[in-house]
A and B are shown apart, each in its own frame.
Chain A
């Protein structure tokens, strides 16, 4: 007797969308981040990011602090780009108080901020390789070089993570004597490492297969969603705050603003890889032209009273536009201290970028945003 064999077609079955919870503690969520996915099979039809696990009043606490005490809180917002965040804050205070930092201090700040950008992007490449399935290899390559930069920072500031080195009006103390030589050494080795990483990642079959064409973003969408930094430039929009609204000494330095073509995940990697070379270029120029001289503005009071007023200072951090909105009432404490985290706005676009992709790709999209949850939740 012949048995009727028939594979049921999907349309014959009643299917329902199910919710999948990812996080808040999961290696792929880059910190304490949770998202609730609604999936139809492997396809993501909705995504609800849940943040706030790291919320610790990083805007409120500085409103009860002396202007110089606040610097430490900025190390703790974007803990992978501490110099960039400090730079933003001290520039905001200087603009409001009418302080002019000496030339040498500006050079030191730019050198350290750009080295920090390289270190931060290396972190991304290391972690991204893990997300994508190149477990360990890219991580080790990236961290080998990041470590040398951290050593350099440690020599300058005495700290590995929370530097607290910039001050309104200058920097805390001068660079070590052999800094120029040491920094050049580190740059040489890091640039070699970046080239190795380039060879390891960018032509890699896994990376090409999984990143190319994944979640392309148009410039219009990027602007609408408030993206900034490499996320924005990957769409092809040539916008960099260092170029568009130059602060510090960036207007005298030569550098290119790399852009992508279609804003997919692969382009975001390409942009960041090139940015590391550009940062190295900036540091080399600054090292060459860095003048001798004082590192702290003269005549600053022990208690810094800032005249009443307001300023929104923004810098180009590795993750995008990092902004500080300061309102002063003329006292020694800020009246309002708002931090605009680049990751915050970038992460808010996660839903729009992820819906319609597969579950496994959402992890890659999330990784390509390069979030720092401490900056998102503040």
Chain B
């Protein structure tokens, strides 16, 4: 069958469809409320008849609704409802059976003995809607934890108010930020695009004003143009004057914190190496050595704090301080050094070969030359 979406709200009362008529003839004397959805026929039954109706739906030869596709609970505020969507593989027809009962007495016979798949569906509906399925073999909660105490799919358990945190909360944060910025005297980050738009609007207003004034005075088009030009010039000058004052208020650019930290760590490392080497040359015990290093570090950090405390002490870390290593070599210097070394190696090797030394001796000569070079560099 092909479903057409044309009929949405059929007029009352609805003529029973073929499946509903089968129900009527199989269950004489039982009140069936016939409905229609865009796809399936819908039959609503009373709770007292429910067990019998489901039994018939499954076992009657003409109905043979052997497949439970879906079991849903619906909350109608004062009532609850369970909906069973059934399908017959034998006949290829389907139907929805609905049963309604009051919220205060939410009991319905289980159908898991008829359709085994109802087991999980009923467990889920029981925990989410608080509908008790009488005779269910395993009524533990399925999706939520045990002893939750409330039924999340009921309408009486609404979602948390979204606007509370999404709008009001965000607004409070913005306000607090603005207040903080005003108190600390640091200008809030400016939106450049908004500023530009503002500027353009101001300019447009100035032009319009100048033009209107010129027209009111009865000036010729040329004079009008000149007047407008003058007004723009004046506006721009004023704006530039306002701008010139602005940069002074901008706080000093923050120091690159990460680079500073790295530099500090390098200084500390160099200090530790130096102190340790000195201590070792003096031949102190490991314990003493450790103490000396700790003292040196303490002294170093004290010095650092003093420098930091000194107002606007020009470069916070002076390369000249005794603990600091040589200023990091720039790239050109490094390249130059490498080239010098390469030349040295080539020269030493050539000399060694000219002397007819063995490869091992040659290697030794080269390393000696390098060593000498390094000492010279120091």
Chain A residues near B (Cβ < 8 Å): 51-52, 55, 57, 59-61, 64, 94-100, 223-226, 228, 237, 239, 244-247, 251, 307-314, 321, 323, 325, 327, 335-336, 338, 340, 344-345, 348-349, 352, 377-378
**Bound CA span A226–B40, Å:** 19
Taking a contact as CB atoms under 8 Å apart, the answer to whether A309 and B8 are in contact is: yes
Taking a contact as CB atoms under 8 Å apart, the answer to whether A225 and B117 are in contact is: yes
B80–chain A nearest beta-carbon distance, Å: 11
B49–chain A nearest beta-carbon distance, Å: 21
Q: 27 A-B Cβ contacts within 8 A?
A: A52-B145, A55-B143, A60-B152, A61-B159, A64-B158, A94-B5, A224-B66, A224-B115, A224-B116, A226-B115, A226-B116, A239-B89, A309-B8, A309-B38, A310-B42, A310-B96, A311-B37, A312-B39, A312-B96, A313-B39, A314-B70, A323-B70, A325-B70, A345-B117, A348-B117, A348-B120, A352-B116
**Bound CA span A307–B37, Å:** 12
Taking a contact as CB atoms under 8 Å apart, the answer to whether B66 and A95 are in contact is: no
Nearest first, the 10 closest Cβ-Cβ pairs linking A and B are A226-B117, A52-B143, A95-B38, A348-B120, A340-B70, A338-B72, A55-B143, A98-B8, A95-B5, A336-B74
Q: Which of B88-146 contact A (CB under 8 A)?
A: 89, 92, 94, 96, 115-117, 119-121, 128, 141-145
Asked if B3 is at the interface of the complex by the 8 Å CB criterion, the answer is yes
Taking a contact as CB atoms under 8 Å apart, the answer to whether A312 and B153 are in contact is: no
Closest chain B residue to A310, Cβ basis: B37
Taking a contact as CB atoms under 8 Å apart, the answer to whether A325 and B89 are in contact is: no
Q: Contact size class for B?
A: 35 or more
Taking a contact as CB atoms under 8 Å apart, the answer to whether B6 and A98 are in contact is: yes
Taking a contact as CB atoms under 8 Å apart, the answer to whether B83 and A325 are in contact is: yes
Taking a contact as CB atoms under 8 Å apart, the answer to whether B116 and A338 are in contact is: no
**Bound CA span A325–B117, Å:** 18
Contacts A59-B153, A61-B159, A307-B8; A237 near B89 (Cβ below 8 A): yes
Q: Which of B22-78 contact A (CB under 8 A)?
A: 37-40, 42, 66-70, 72, 74-75
Asked if B248 is at the interface of the complex by the 8 Å CB criterion, the answer is no
A311–chain B nearest beta-carbon distance, Å: 5
Chain B residues near A (Cβ < 8 Å): 1-3, 5-6, 8-9, 37-40, 42, 66-70, 72, 74-75, 83, 85, 89, 92, 94, 96, 115-117, 119-121, 128, 141-145, 152-153, 158-159
**Bound CA span A345–B128, Å:** 17
Taking a contact as CB atoms under 8 Å apart, the answer to whether B67 and A97 are in contact is: no
B182–chain A nearest beta-carbon distance, Å: 38
A135–chain B nearest beta-carbon distance, Å: 32
Taking a contact as CB atoms under 8 Å apart, the answer to whether A96 and B117 are in contact is: no
Taking CB atoms, residues of chain B closer than 8 Å to A94 are: 5
Taking a contact as CB atoms under 8 Å apart, the answer to whether A226 and B153 are in contact is: no
**Bound CA span A311–B94, Å:** 13
**Bound CA span A223–B69, Å:** 10
Closest chain A residue to B70, Cβ basis: A340
Taking a contact as CB atoms under 8 Å apart, the answer to whether B92 and A244 are in contact is: yes
Closest chain A residue to B138, Cβ basis: A48
**Bound CA span A224–B117, Å:** 6
Taking a contact as CB atoms under 8 Å apart, the answer to whether B117 and A60 are in contact is: no
Taking a contact as CB atoms under 8 Å apart, the answer to whether A345 and B8 are in contact is: no
* Residue in A52, A312, A345 whose beta carbon sits within 8 Å of that of B40 in the complex: A312
Taking a contact as CB atoms under 8 Å apart, the answer to whether A325 and B72 are in contact is: yes
B166–chain A nearest beta-carbon distance, Å: 13
Taking a contact as CB atoms under 8 Å apart, the answer to whether A51 and B92 are in contact is: no
Taking CB atoms, residues of chain B closer than 8 Å to A340 are: 69-70, 85
* Residue in A60, A246, A352 whose beta carbon sits within 8 Å of that of B153 in the complex: A60
Taking CB atoms, residues of chain A closer than 8 Å to B115 are: 224, 226
Closest chain B residue to A340, Cβ basis: B70
**Bound CA span A98–B8, Å:** 6
**Bound CA span A245–B40, Å:** 11
Contacts A224-B115, A225-B116, A312-B40; A321 near B5 (Cβ below 8 A): no
Taking a contact as CB atoms under 8 Å apart, the answer to whether A314 and B143 are in contact is: no
Taking CB atoms, residues of chain B closer than 8 Å to A64 are: 158-159
* Residue in B5, B116, B119, B152 whose beta carbon sits within 8 Å of that of A98 in the complex: B5
Taking CB atoms, residues of chain B closer than 8 Å to A95 are: 3, 5, 38-39
